[in-house]
Structure 1
Amino acid sequence: MALTTPTIFAIIAVVLIVLKLLTVGRRDKNYPPGPPTVPILGNIHQMPTRDAHLQFQKWANEYGPVYSLMLGTRVLIVLSSDQAVKDLLDKRSAIYSARPDMYIGQELCSGGLRFLMMEYGPTWRYFRKMSHALLNVTVAKTYIAYQLLENKQMLHDMLVAPDRCLQNIRRYSNSLTTTMVFGWRTSTYDDAKMMQLFEGFSEFVQINQTGTAALLDSFPFLRKLPDWLLPLQTRAKESFRKERELYVGHWLTAKEAVKAGTIRPCFCVGMAQAQQEEGFSDEQAAYISGTLLEAGSDTTSNTLYAFVQAMLLFPEVQKKAQDEIDRVVGSSRLPNMDDEPHLQYLRGCVKESLRWMPTTILGSVPHAVTRDDVYMGYKIPRGAAVMNNVWGIHMDPNRSPDPRRFDPDRFKDDFLNCADSATQPDASKRDAFTFGAGRRICPGMHVAEASLFLGMSRLLWAFDIKPVIDPATGQAILPDPDRLTQGIMAMPEEFEVKIVPRDQNRADLVENEWQEAEELVDPITKQWKRTPEGMVLPSV
């Protein structure tokens, strides 16, 4: 039976569609190398569901410092060397500061509002400029009074509840962040809004780690399917509803305090001024401040908790740091920021913690390139996502010999702060890549570095960090440093630890310092009674 012309055309069309589909997921010969692909999926089936940083490091060892992964219709370029990050994300930041399309993360979970995932353009540049104006190194120094108060409560909490080490650290980090962003303290770990923040962000991370999220990002046509076929979409929308309620509530409370003249110096004072001038929505303001709350609460607490773990695993480091603190500070007062230039080994502890356990283990959210580019002879196509493989860089033995050893002496000759280190021309001399790179680098790194220095120096001044002893065996119970939480923000899994005062005099001083600090806060609300001396309301 002879085929009709329409039938022939239909067969040809089907063949062409099939051939086109078979090219999906295939690596272009000019792209950076990478693991073998399969049709349509590319490398999606090889993406790990746990400990992704280890697989990305393994691929870097196999395919080099710049390799590619084909994720369905999308291309992911992975940068696993300090020089590649410097050359592309820093030097070519004009075209490497975009974000890839993140349907679940940015659209459904965040309503297109999350600053961390916002597309590069005039709106992002305005909010970035505003964030820098309210968080730069000069403004960061004015927040020291907040850091000192929260730090004193953390020390007191360690004294009275040493078995709640992680909770004490998280309260310190969260309260410091809420004070700097919104002007109010979180005086207890059991605060309902703090619980909602950590639980909500955990839910956000879990949703975005699913295979369904990866498929929806890689194959946009699937987004047209109804929610009953894709229950993850319903879950993401509900996550956004709860998070938006939390963030908008925080922002409106701060905004009313600005109008009433009762707010303490904080980021939202300047943002309220900017909103009057620019007219952006309350929802957008809520997500700018909410993003800072997320970042400030998680990164500082995760890094400080990792430092505690390192002190358990490397007691010789703890002893050397305590000897330095005792020599410079003595036993009659707590360390302060004036001591920082004289505590070089402790400064190394801060930098080594950021290197040894980078909380943004795979660079948080990938960048994206806005036009075709060529690097090392490879084509990097327009629209490709570009990952800063922080773990792979930090664990490079050529950069950091014996990389899983915690050694602050790596930085004995590094007298730069983290921000200045990030801008030096020689990429191999940069201390850590935890704060990001290029135009997307963390604007709050000055505040974070000071919080970490105060947290680490004062913990070691006041306490010995010791392992719990197994009563059955008499052996020390030590944590496994390779057991990490999963997601875009990583930290050690919770572990047992003994926080013990070094002597009674130090314990008494911790108690006295907190009693004096408590006089600054209202006994009922636990909020600041008045603006700390020397602080001013920030403006853009």
Structure 2
Amino acid sequence: MNVYVLLFGGISVAIIYSLRNVGRRASDLPPGPPTLPLIGNLHLMPERQPHQQFKKWADEYGSIYSLILGTSVMIVLSSDTAVKDLLDKRSNNYSSRPTLYIGQVLSGGLRMLLMPYNDTWRMIRRTVHNHLNIRSARSYIPYQDLESLQMLLGVLETPDRWDAHLRRFTNSMTTQMVFGFRTTDIDDAKMHQLFDGFADFSECIMSPAARLIDMYSFVKYLPEFLVPVKRKARKLHEEEMRLFKGHWLVAKEKALNGTAIPCVCVDLVKSQQTEAFSDDLAAYISGSLLEAGSDTTYSTLVGWVQAMVLYPDVARAAQAEIDKVCGDHLPGLADESNMPYIHACVKETLRWMPTVTMGVPHAVIRDDLYNGYRIPKGATVVVNVWGISRDENRHAKPSVFDPTRYIDDRQSAAESALDSDPANRDHFVFGAGRRVCQGMHIADRSLFLAISRMLWAFDFEAVQGETINPSNLTEGMFVKPDHFEARIAPRSHKRAEAVRSQWLSAKEQLEENGQWKCVPAGIFDHQKG
């Protein structure tokens, strides 16, 4: 008996000894809020609106601080210099992703966004780059032009559903680019499934239950009835797979029989034949592009409408520039170089209402040192996008929507991300390092077209009695402003008729079901030769 007592005692001592540092912040880590044994800072993690607290911690602890979350370490970067120094200059060490167990269940391990830095991720990135680089992005302009015209007509005819028209606009642009078909109806069931599913994904992956599993990995082995978030994530993945794979298999069949309109999936079929990846992975490659192109641009435009309602002087200044440059003709991408204020509005919108307030987390591949602090292998690294966008030392009066702060900045988002001086980076919505968004060129053009054309055609007003707080955002990894009302009306009868005329002219290129009769001029010219 004494032997068993001694054995039990020895095991107990070993366990206690191994847990003695759990929850503590090592002295060589970046500073952060005080910890408690075993849980560290877990009790301080906000369940709602985390961007607000992360900004407060940045104000208190500086440009790089740490949070101890049970057995895990989170490093938070809250300055442009820290992001440039680590994620850009040391990208070979900061390009992986934390495990995010629920995120992997949600994605079946197939979502490029959450993949670790490995051969599969690099293969996908090479494949995607061929379709989203700056030269390829130009070929999508006819798609963007057409969808913006239908969006204008929709807002004109049913202005109370402006939000739905913006959603269809961004979704249809992306279904064309990725799968080769248009989304013509604001009540399209598959479009709503995409947006609702992505919102559920975004919120589920950031839920307290999901974070708990990442903090204490043994929880993932518990049955689903004890950890309901596992069952929810699995069901969301099954629904998402059905949607993505359905789109993919239709596009693949058309590509193989030669009836597909030019789109990413045409070349993805060729890549599949070369790389021999599964239909499931192809479905998630194409489906993830659909999510990214649809949701983030839509959310940004919702933020912009909010800004126009709250800052009517900005709207009037933008309209004055548009009227001077365009007069009675609808703005187009050819006018962009003569519209520095609209260009600045795009940048300011992305800064003022970032759709990813804390980015998508990175993971450290090897131990590192920075400014005297140790950055341990396996640590999660978060870009405090909201905190940087609201940094008073970087932006004067950061809570104010003021495009003039970018009036002399003529760089594109991609050029800005590559600028050697971090102070010249416009915003951090598109990420950093090797994980930077490859669709920046497309997003820039879509936002310019939507913003310039909406301002050319419409005035924006607040609804009487409506109170709007731009700091109140939806929950999750990807966010947008909480619901608000806006009154949007045509600036004149003449411009309303011009919107109708432009759409009727564009509609001649479409079949009765709203799809293209033939490939529009300019699409995929980059592939010739």
Q: TM-score range by the shorter chain?
A: over 0.9
**Partner Cα distance (2:214, 2:473) in 1:** 26
Once the two structures are overlaid, the 10-residue window that deviates more, 485-494 or 372-381, is 485-494
Where 1:75 maps in the other structure, the secondary structure is strand
**Partner Cα distance (1:482, 1:93) in 2:** 31
Partner of 1:443: 438
Preserved contact between residue 462 and residue 507 of structure 1 (Cα < 8 Å): yes
**Partner Cα distance (2:482, 2:326) in 1:** 33
Aligned-residue offset at 1:52: 0.3
Q: Deviations over 1:150-171 (max 9, x none)?
A: 0000000010010011111111
**Partner Cα distance (1:536, 1:14) in 2:** 66
Aligned-residue offset at 1:15: 2.0
Q: What is the total number of aligned residue pairs between the two structures?
A: 528
Where 1:499 maps in the other structure, the secondary structure is strand
Q: Deviations over 1:199-222 (max 9, x none)?
A: 111221232232221111121112
**Partner Cα distance (2:310, 2:139) in 1:** 35
Once the two structures are overlaid, the 10-residue window that deviates more, 13-22 or 512-521, is 13-22
The amino acid that maps onto 1:22 is R
Of 462, 479, 482, the residue aligned with 2:468 is 479
- Taking only the aligned residue pairs, the percentage that are identical comes to 51
Partner of 2:246: 249
Q: Deviations over 1:360-383 (max 9, x none)?
A: 1111x2001100000010000001
Where 1:500 maps in the other structure, the secondary structure is strand
Preserved contact between residue 372 and residue 380 of structure 1 (Cα < 8 Å): yes
Distance 1:234 1:483, change over 3 A: same
Preserved contact between residue 269 and residue 538 of structure 1 (Cα < 8 Å): no
Partner of 1:308: 305
**Partner Cα distance (1:229, 1:299) in 2:** 34
Aligned-residue offset at 1:5: 4.4
**Partner Cα distance (2:53, 2:242) in 1:** 37
Preserved contact between residue 321 and residue 341 of structure 2 (Cα < 8 Å): yes
The amino acid that maps onto 1:260 is N
**Partner Cα distance (1:228, 1:482) in 2:** 36
Where 1:203 maps in the other structure, the secondary structure is helix
Aligned-residue offset at 1:9: 3.7
Of 394, 398, 403, the residue aligned with 2:393 is 398
**Partner Cα distance (2:69, 2:154) in 1:** 47
Where 2:344 maps in the other structure, the secondary structure is helix
Of 330, 337, 342, the residue aligned with 1:346 is 342
Where 2:316 maps in the other structure, the secondary structure is helix
**Partner Cα distance (1:370, 1:279) in 2:** 28
Of 102, 105, 117, the residue aligned with 1:104 is 102
**Partner Cα distance (1:206, 1:469) in 2:** 31
Where 2:107 maps in the other structure, the secondary structure is coil
Partner of 1:416: 411
Of 148, 156, 169, the residue aligned with 2:145 is 148
Task: Say if 2:503 is the partner of 1:506.
Answer: no
Alignment RMSD, CA only? 1.3
Aligned-residue offset at 1:226: 1.5
Preserved contact between residue 346 and residue 448 of structure 2 (Cα < 8 Å): yes
The amino acid that maps onto 1:532 is P
Once the two structures are overlaid, the 10-residue window that deviates more, 399-408 or 227-236, is 227-236
**Partner Cα distance (2:269, 2:527) in 1:** 9
Preserved contact between residue 147 and residue 176 of structure 1 (Cα < 8 Å): yes
Partner of 1:527: 515
Where 2:229 maps in the other structure, the secondary structure is helix
Q: Deviations over 1:269-306 (max 9, x none)?
A: 11111111111011001101111111111111111111
Where 1:23 maps in the other structure, the secondary structure is coil
Partner of 2:279: 282
Preserved contact between residue 264 and residue 537 of structure 1 (Cα < 8 Å): no
Of 289, 293, 297, the residue aligned with 1:296 is 293
The amino acid that maps onto 1:440 is R
Partner of 1:378: 373
Preserved contact between residue 265 and residue 536 of structure 1 (Cα < 8 Å): yes
The amino acid that maps onto 2:442 is V
**Partner Cα distance (2:248, 2:491) in 1:** 42
The amino acid that maps onto 1:534 is G
Structure 1 residues not aligned, in runs of 5+ = 471-476
> What aligned pairs does 1:193-232 form with structure 2 within 5 A after superposition?
193-232=190-229
Where 1:164 maps in the other structure, the secondary structure is helix
The amino acid that maps onto 2:409 is D
Task: Say if 2:384 is the partner of 1:389.
Answer: yes
Structure 2 residues not aligned, in runs of 5+ = none
Partner of 1:515: 504
Aligned-residue offset at 1:513: 0.6
How high is the TM-score relative to the length of structure 2? 0.98
Preserved contact between residue 362 and residue 380 of structure 2 (Cα < 8 Å): yes
Where 2:76 maps in the other structure, the secondary structure is strand
Distance 1:537 1:337, change over 3 A: closer
**Partner Cα distance (2:312, 2:503) in 1:** 28
**Partner Cα distance (1:535, 1:184) in 2:** 14
Partner of 1:327: 324
**Partner Cα distance (2:381, 2:92) in 1:** 14
**Partner Cα distance (1:73, 1:42) in 2:** 8
> What aligned pairs does 1:63-78 form with structure 2 within 5 A after superposition?
63-78=61-76
Once the two structures are overlaid, the 10-residue window that deviates more, 425-434 or 18-27, is 18-27
Once the two structures are overlaid, the 10-residue window that deviates more, 110-119 or 514-523, is 514-523
**Partner Cα distance (2:431, 2:304) in 1:** 20
Preserved contact between residue 331 and residue 453 of structure 2 (Cα < 8 Å): yes
**Partner Cα distance (2:464, 2:353) in 1:** 25
Aligned-residue offset at 1:8: 2.6
Once the two structures are overlaid, the 10-residue window that deviates more, 167-176 or 202-211, is 202-211
The amino acid that maps onto 2:496 is A
**Partner Cα distance (2:227, 2:464) in 1:** 48
**Partner Cα distance (1:308, 1:535) in 2:** 30
Once the two structures are overlaid, the 10-residue window that deviates more, 173-182 or 22-31, is 22-31
**Partner Cα distance (2:461, 2:209) in 1:** 43
